[in-house]
Structure 1
Amino acid sequence: MNIDIVIATRILLIAYAAVMIFFVVRGALRTRSMTDFAIGNGFSPLVVGLSLAANITSAATFIINPGFVAMFGLSAFIAMSVMVPLGLMISLIILSRSFQKHGSAFKAISLAQWVNKRYNSPAYGRLMAVLSLLLITFIVLICVGMVKVIAPALQASELYVLIGLVVFVFGYTMFGGANSMAYTNAFQAIVMGVVALILIFSGTGHFDGGLSAFWGKLNQIDPMLSKTFNPTSPIFRDFFEVIFCNFIIGLAIVCQPHIITRSLMLRSSKDINKYLAIAIVVEMLFFMVLFVGLFARLDMPDLTLAGKKLPMDGIMSAYVLERFDTGVGLLVIFGLLSAGLSTLEGLVQSVSTTVTNDIILPSFKSEISEDRKKLINRAVITLLGVIAITVSYCQLVSPNLSVAILGQNGVYAFFSAAFMPVLLGIFTKNIHKLVPIASTIVAVIVYFATYYGELSFYTTGIVRNPAVAGTYAIFGAILAAGIMYFITRNKTNINSQKIINA
């Protein structure tokens, strides 16, 4: 380890913290209510588009997932960097405009509140709010990913770095909310774009001799690294796992609170096309970072450093520290940090908003002041921080292959449950609330039964594939919704007419 990069990283973190605090103070001055905290006061399509791109692409994309590519090769890249983004972008284009229109009509500030008002069912809204707690697993994934980058660069204890990270990020998020997050995310997205280009071009030397020579080098390490499917891997074995399941997951992944509600931050529905164009172009660049995992494998064929076997979650940080000199390495660390923080802020903001607005506040019999609402929300964020530190440390000490498995497990379960309610709420005019409720309940049951009950070949053994469980859950939800629709098709109880004619 170069001592210069340790000192430089400390200076960078101090400077970065100062920039974040500036945006937080600026945002806090404009945050007067829970609505301001959740969706802000309206932003340009450029700011919201960059914010969305940064929120979708987290530490998973820049830090964790390249480790899968390094270990399992082209099959992991196709699954995570081609099929998931393809489904995601199709779904984003189809759903964003309608959700923005519906959300504005209902004055919804969270996905759970949107479900509540769309289906005229407070109980269903609370169910979705409770299920949103599954997203804590993704918060843990991001925390672990950032610690894996920061701790080696600082030569510091992972536990101390974890505590400092959570205290700082959760602390400034509770004050600024969406009004600061939109600008911090836009700033982070720009940094991430620069770093993505640096990382993508960092391995150009491996292409000396052409593309065939590049794959030939990988074949010498392991012939499976250049194959579309890798039967020796635990989660990229065949067409079903690599292509089909990841495309379905990509379609549904949009139905997360910090993604689907992003369009509500726009000043006007007229900005939706610009917003989507900016987000998709930037996102395509970000997902290409996973290819760097192959560069890391060529640089470290046996995935060891200084004689020690690298854990999957530490491969990318090891590559950065070994590949780049102090100046460029510092910039790359800056970008990896931005990738994690951007999504972490969005998750903390959306999950705390949901818990406060859709679980806690409805329990009060009388209206309470905005100041008290903000105080409750800050208490919720504090509790989330404690949980994040506890679970993240467990993953740092004893992960199951990768923290990504835990993160995917919670996230996939959630958006499997949310996919049909969002789809039905947007594209049907008059439907009984039991239809989406049945889809959600069945999705949750099918997901966890498949994953923990080992009901599929793909979900057996020590490492199980969350994408397969998510795919089964989504199709189970579709089937349940279809059956319940025919049972209730002559009955209606939804206040949907307000938005159908909007």
Structure 2
Amino acid sequence: METFTNKYLTWLAVIFYMLLILFLVIRGALKTKNIEDYAVGSVHFSPVAVGLALAASMTSAATFIINPGFIGLYGISGVLSFGIVMPLAIFVSLIVFTKKFRKYGTSIKALTMAQWIGNRYNSKKYALFFAVLSFLLISFIVLILVGLTQVLSVALDLPVLPVLLSIGIFVFGYMMFGGANSMVYTNAIQAVLMLIVAVILLGSGYEHFSNGVKGFLAKLDSIDPTLAQWTNPSSFLFRDYFEIIFCQIIIGIAIVCQPHIITKSLLLKNEKDVNRYLLVGILVESLFFMVVVAGLYARLAFPELILDGEAIPMDGLVSTYVVQEFPVYVSLILVLGMISAGLSTLEGLIQSLSATITTDFLKPVFGESLFNREKPRREILINRLVIVFLAAVSMFLSYQQLVAPDVSVAIFAQNGVYAYFAAAFIPVLFGMFLDDVPLVAPVVASITALVVHFGVYYGRIGSYMQEPVNNPGVAATFAILSALFLGFFIYLLDKNFQFFKTEIKEKELSA
């Protein structure tokens, strides 16, 4: 009877949440008249709302659902990596990059990352290149769909396939209409829910600290000594400080160069709002990143990672912890918060990726034969068809990851996402901070990043790449450093010897 009541209440909570989202989407859709409204909005948003939206979209199902599973499996070393080092690098990068990116993005009316890069280097082909690269971000959509499916299938006690289909149809369906006008408000509400969940999850293990931090570490040590150590040689992600600190600093700096993160600042209409936007986003995000500690609490609750005689999958560890260890009313809030963590980033990805494919891939390729300047609604219709395509591909790949994951869907996602921002980092960096950059420098850097990333990972190059499953962060680190070295070398050659025709002039930087 109690189990039936729990499911009934969970259903009611999920349905109420869906209705609230739909209300906000319809409200936003009424103000969306063209693709520009869809991409950056037609409403004057509060910097607090956009800051909350930034925190929510940066915090995906990975932070609340998937990454705590890694921490539950590998211990304190993962907290240092995912909860401390990477966030600090992200915050510094976000502060440094945001104002520069926004200043140029607003002056040229850039709607997408590909447009920003293409306009910055005066190259439509380079913009098209990044539009094609943006398909790599589908891997991140897959991660979030898998995380959401894990949470709801456990909470509702349903098979994964119908849950996956329901989530996909609902989210991609409403994102066909709302865009930025609704996304900022849904993200803000989701961020508030996530704040509540973060506090509950972080406080849920307070009894483990009855004997202080040393007592807590002793409990982890009794399960597995490597769980209480700053490095974990038995893992494939946290083996030494090179992986835990150096790689995560490089990744954290570059990770900001994702469309759904760095383009958030374009939603602000006034320059004076930027500081408040950053302050709100970073403060809230700091708390969100610490949620990975809940993975340690889950491991203490299930020391053998087994429930009712069955192994708990890593991606489902936190979901199982929430449903098994909390009273029903608290678990309802936690489930909704974890759904919010996934939806917030998923909405941003669908919005930015569909806008990129529509405006930066289909429009340049098909031109007037498909698009008509006098009919802006046609562009919106094409964008909706793109979202249908993204939904079909993403759900197919998600099901494959649910039934046959390679340790974790996070590895699948990291390979795609890390490759994208490794390729994007140098053109964004050079475009914001250097004058007279020849187009060949960022182009070569982007290609180098892709070749090195995939070459190191799939070619198993180096001592770090010899495990059955390897760390994409190591491959991305070498990719970013190689791209930076080669791109800067070409830039210096041109600066001193004028080998190449320059594309960015100083006067453009002051535009």
Q: TM over 0.5, yes or no?
A: yes
Q: Among residues 132, 135, 138, which one is paired with 1:136 in the alignment?
A: 138
TM-score between both structures, scaled by the size of structure 2: 0.97
User: Counterpart of 1:494 in structure 2: which amino acid?
Assistant: E
User: Counterpart of 2:276 in structure 1: which amino acid?
Assistant: K
User: Counterpart of 2:65 in structure 1: which amino acid?
Assistant: I
For residue 497 of structure 1, report the CA deviation from its aligned partner. 4.8
For residue 428 of structure 1, report the CA deviation from its aligned partner. 1.2
The alignment status of 1:383 with 2:386, answered yes or no, reads no
User: Counterpart of 1:272 in structure 2: which amino acid?
Assistant: V
For residue 242 of structure 1, report the CA deviation from its aligned partner. 0.7
For residue 495 of structure 1, report the CA deviation from its aligned partner. 5.2
Q: Among residues 370, 378, 398, which one is paired with 1:372 in the alignment?
A: 378
1:171-210, aligned counterparts within 5 Å? 171-210=173-212
Conserved in 2, the CA contact under 8 Å of 1:74 and 1:228? Answer: yes
CA RMSD after TM alignment: 1.1
1:166-315, aligned counterparts within 5 Å? 166-315=168-317
Taking the aligned partners of 1:468 and 1:246, their CA distance within structure 2 comes to 9
Conserved in 2, the CA contact under 8 Å of 1:119 and 1:495? Answer: yes
Taking the aligned partners of 2:280 and 2:507, their CA distance within structure 1 comes to 31
Conserved in 2, the CA contact under 8 Å of 1:235 and 1:458? Answer: no
Q: In structure 2, what is the equivalent of residue 500 of structure 1?
A: 509
Q: Among residues 456, 464, 472, which one is paired with 1:458 in the alignment?
A: 464
**Paired residue secondary structure (1:91):** helix
Taking the aligned partners of 1:203 and 1:365, their CA distance within structure 2 comes to 57
Q: Per-residue displacement from partner, 1:444-466 (whole Å, max 9, x unpaired)?
A: 00000000000122122321100
The alignment status of 1:53 with 2:55, answered yes or no, reads yes
Conserved in 2, the CA contact under 8 Å of 1:81 and 1:290? Answer: yes
**Paired residue secondary structure (1:284):** helix
Identity of aligned residues (%): 48
TM-aligned CA distance change 1:328 to 1:365, over 3 Å:
closer
Q: In structure 1, what is the equivalent of residue 101 of structure 2?
A: 99
User: Counterpart of 1:279 in structure 2: which amino acid?
Assistant: G
Q: In structure 1, what is the equivalent of residue 13 of structure 2?
A: 12
Q: Per-residue displacement from partner, 1:112-163 (whole Å, max 9, x unpaired)?
A: 0001100001111111111111110000000000100001111111000000
User: Counterpart of 1:313 in structure 2: which amino acid?
Assistant: D
Taking the aligned partners of 1:20 and 1:134, their CA distance within structure 2 comes to 27
Taking the aligned partners of 1:92 and 1:69, their CA distance within structure 2 comes to 25
For residue 430 of structure 1, report the CA deviation from its aligned partner. 1.5
**Paired residue secondary structure (1:494):** coil
User: Counterpart of 1:21 in structure 2: which amino acid?
Assistant: L
**What are the ranges of 5 or more consecutive residues in structure 2 without an aligned counterpart?**
none
For residue 2 of structure 1, report the CA deviation from its aligned partner. 2.4
Q: In structure 1, what is the equivalent of residue 322 of structure 2?
A: 320
For residue 279 of structure 1, report the CA deviation from its aligned partner. 0.2
User: Counterpart of 2:424 in structure 1: which amino acid?
Assistant: A
Moved over 6 A (4+): none
Q: Per-residue displacement from partner, 1:327-373 (whole Å, max 9, x unpaired)?
A: 00100001000000000000011111110010001123435121111
Conserved in 1, the CA contact under 8 Å of 2:435 and 2:504? Answer: no
User: Counterpart of 1:395 in structure 2: which amino acid?
Assistant: Q
TM-aligned CA distance change 1:44 to 1:498, over 3 Å:
farther
TM-aligned CA distance change 1:84 to 1:96, over 3 Å:
same
Taking the aligned partners of 2:10 and 2:422, their CA distance within structure 1 comes to 39
Q: In structure 2, what is the equivalent of residue 33 of structure 1?
A: 34
TM-score between both structures, scaled by the size of structure 1: 0.98
Taking the aligned partners of 2:295 and 2:352, their CA distance within structure 1 comes to 31
For residue 3 of structure 1, report the CA deviation from its aligned partner. 2.2
For residue 479 of structure 1, report the CA deviation from its aligned partner. 1.3
Conserved in 1, the CA contact under 8 Å of 2:438 and 2:504? Answer: no
Q: Among residues 479, 488, 496, which one is paired with 1:473 in the alignment?
A: 479
Conserved in 2, the CA contact under 8 Å of 1:255 and 1:422? Answer: yes
Q: In structure 2, what is the equivalent of residue 434 of structure 1?
A: 440
Q: In structure 2, what is the equivalent of residue 348 of structure 1?
A: 350
Q: Which moved more, 1:460-469 or 1:324-333?
A: 460-469
**Paired residue secondary structure (2:177):** helix
Taking the aligned partners of 1:446 and 1:97, their CA distance within structure 2 comes to 30
Taking the aligned partners of 2:80 and 2:120, their CA distance within structure 1 comes to 37
User: Counterpart of 2:270 in structure 1: which amino acid?
Assistant: S
Taking the aligned partners of 1:318 and 1:153, their CA distance within structure 2 comes to 8
Taking the aligned partners of 1:235 and 1:283, their CA distance within structure 2 comes to 23
**Paired residue secondary structure (2:176):** helix
**Count of residues in Structure 1 that have an aligned counterpart in Structure 2:** 502
**Paired residue secondary structure (2:416):** helix
**Paired residue secondary structure (1:301):** coil
TM-aligned CA distance change 1:236 to 1:90, over 3 Å:
same
Q: Per-residue displacement from partner, 1:161-189 (whole Å, max 9, x unpaired)?
A: 00010100001011000000000000000
**Paired residue secondary structure (1:108):** coil
For residue 496 of structure 1, report the CA deviation from its aligned partner. 4.4
TM-aligned CA distance change 1:334 to 1:33, over 3 Å:
same
Conserved in 1, the CA contact under 8 Å of 2:74 and 2:232? Answer: yes
For residue 429 of structure 1, report the CA deviation from its aligned partner. 2.1
Conserved in 1, the CA contact under 8 Å of 2:437 and 2:504? Answer: no
